[in-house]
Amino acid sequence: MDLDALRAKKGFICDMDGVIYHGNKILDGVKEFVEWLYANDKNFLFLTNSSERSRTELKQKLARMGLDVDESHFYTSALATAKFIKSQCPGATAYVIGAPGLYNALYEEGITINDVNPDYVIIGECRTYNYESLEKALYLVMNGAKLIGTNPDLTGPTEKGIAPACKSLVAPIELSSGKNAYYVGKPNPLMMRTGLKLLGVHSDEAVMIGDRMDTDIIAGIETGLDTVLVLTGCSTRATVDEFPYTPKYILNGVGDIPTK
């Protein structure tokens, strides 16, 4: 496979879970890939559907793995969700099931917490998800609150294997209420367009790298980017055939990109 055209791209949008790391374990070749991005003055952005962590926390997480990446290189579905809510309903209130990264993003956009009569019920990844919070969310949605999911991922890769992700947590509320959530993260073009704007390059000059066909690759295709599927996360070469579209490149991991 000729990778010269890929290496010549000016901008790289890269997923994180399953591409850069599994949980707290950095993947093979990632350090070399990041060093290559810096050495070749590439514009790059880590665009993650996870809403658990803030930019600062993501920077610190990578630092613990031996990578020094500035906060400006991160954009999350939590930030995209907060931006979307503010654009729709400035000063909105919300009942939130999620981690600190989501709460912080919402607070920064002037969205406050309300568990009585909120405008929105917002759900992201959360380690403390329980029946009580599910029951409360369902009650509020049935009483008029709009249902928002930070991203449509059903599962995500961890050191132990596959774990439930955001859409799996939203699904019981959708099924019980009969109402569909609006999902802000990839492949939603709202998040992708913001990512390109932050990257500062045209779509023709950029590439999307991810491990999921149903979010990363379709997001890149629909935004006009070349796409790279890496096999370090949720996908295999066999699963590619299950979809009616294909990535431009299929690599074992991002470590295949730097020139040897």
pLDDT digits (tens, 9 = 90+) for 77-90: 999 999 999 999 99
CA dist list (Å): 111 to 90, 107, 141, 190, 249: 8, 5, 18, 19, 40
Q: Identity (one letter) of the amino acid at 37?
A: L
CA dist list (Å): 42 to 6, 28, 206: 12, 20, 10
Measured CA to CA, the distance from residue 105 to residue 107 in angstroms comes to 6
CATH fold label, 4-49+186-256 = Rossmann fold (3.40.50)
Q: Which of left, alpha, beta for 137 (phi over 0: left; psi -120 to 50: alpha)?
A: alpha
Instruction: State mean pLDDT over 136-149.
Output: 98
Q: Using the predicted structure, report yes or no on whether residue 260 has a pLDDT greater than 80.
A: no
CA dist list (Å): 180 to 19, 31, 80, 110, 207: 29, 40, 19, 25, 31
Q: Using the predicted structure, report yes or no on whether residue 1 has a pLDDT greater than 80.
A: no
* Res 234: pLDDT: 86
Mean of the per-residue pLDDT values of the chain: 94
Write down the domain spans for the chain. Answer: 4-49+186-256, 87-183
Measured CA to CA, the distance from residue 1 to residue 162 in angstroms comes to 29
Q: What is the CA radius of gyration of the chain?
A: 18
What's the pTM? 0.92
* Res 158: pLDDT: 73
Instruction: State mean pLDDT over 112-140.
Output: 95
Instruction: Say yes or no: do domains 4-49+186-256 and 87-183 share a fold.
Output: yes
Q: Identify the top-confidence range among 90-94, 188-192, 194-198.
A: 90-94
* Res 157: pLDDT: 73
Measured CA to CA, the distance from residue 168 to residue 148 in angstroms comes to 13
Q: Cα 116 vs. chain centroid, distance in angstroms?
A: 29
- Is the CB of residue 228 less than 8 Å from the CB of residue 207? yes
Decide if 216 is catalytic. Answer: no
Select which of 2, 15, 28, 226 is catalytic. 15
Measured CA to CA, the distance from residue 161 to residue 148 in angstroms comes to 27
Q: Which of 73, 74, 78, 69 is nearest to 100 (CA)?
A: 78
Q: Which of 101, 104, 43, 108 is nearest to 72 (CA)?
A: 43
Select which of 2, 4, 17, 41 is catalytic. 17
Q: Using the predicted structure, report yes or no on whether residue 259 has a pLDDT greater than 90.
A: no
**pLDDT per position as a tens digit, 31-66:** 999 999 999 999 999 999 999 999 999 999 999 999
**pLDDT per position as a tens digit, 215-257:** 999 999 999 999 999 999 889 999 999 999 999 999 999 999 9
* Tokens 């045209």 -> residue: 202
Decide if 241 is catalytic. Answer: no
Q: Cα 48 vs. chain centroid, distance in angstroms?
A: 3
Superfamily of domain 87-183: HAD superfamily/HAD-like (3.40.50.1000)
Measured CA to CA, the distance from residue 46 to residue 57 in angstroms comes to 13
